[in-house]
Amino acid sequence: MNPAELLPILKYPDPRLLRVAQPVAAVDERVRTLLERMFATMYEANGIGLAATQVDVHERVIVIDVSEARDQPLVLINPELLWASPETRKGDEGCLSVPGVYDGVERALAVRVRALDAHGHSRELEAEGLLAVCIQHEMDHLQGKVFVEYLSLLKRTRIKAKLLKAGRDGEGEAERPSARTGRRAVPL
């Protein structure tokens, strides 16, 4: 994809990240073009998930690909959470909108969602592990919620100050290994 077609990703604490996304009225060519651009943007940024809210499009659209080969794209349009397991796990999360920040968030181990695909067909999906975490993380974005809101006020204040300073200084995103696994944490 032409780099000009990549979408700019909003960075926390941009207030546009707090907007609640509206349902997609029809899955048409405009939405399919948005999906292509969102996938290209997510892959270019080395993310595994991206909500339309993060690219300043306030519609209920999510793209995900948690595969190692980056060859299993998943589209969720107008997703609805049907069920979340009562069992939870705290794991490190990162976010393309909160570059260089990773922290523990408690999430359901498994979820079931209903959503439209890129052709407008309704489908249900059960997910566990990383895919379940990614779905929950991206659905939060559609509600105007960024993962740092699960953290303490002190941590949120420090993160906000760090990112505002980095924005002024023009610093880039840093990767770091996950404290729990020793592997690189992946921004969602």
Active site residues: 138
Would you say 96 and 54 are in contact if contact means Cβ atoms under 8 Å apart?
yes
Ligand-binding site membership of 134 (annotated): no
Three-state DSSP at 109 gives coil
- Tokens 């592997």 found at: 183
Which string of DSSP letters, residue by residue, matches 123-161? EEEEEEHHHHHHHHHHHHHHTT--GGGGS-HHHHHHHHH
Positive or negative CA dihedral for 128, 51, 143, 154? positive
Q: Report the relative pairing of strands 110-116 and 74-84 from DSSP bridges.
A: antiparallel
Ligand-binding site membership of 141 (annotated): yes
Would you say 75 and 35 are in contact if contact means Cβ atoms under 8 Å apart?
yes
Which positions make up the binding site for Fe cation?
95, 137, 141
Which positions make up the binding site?
95, 137, 141
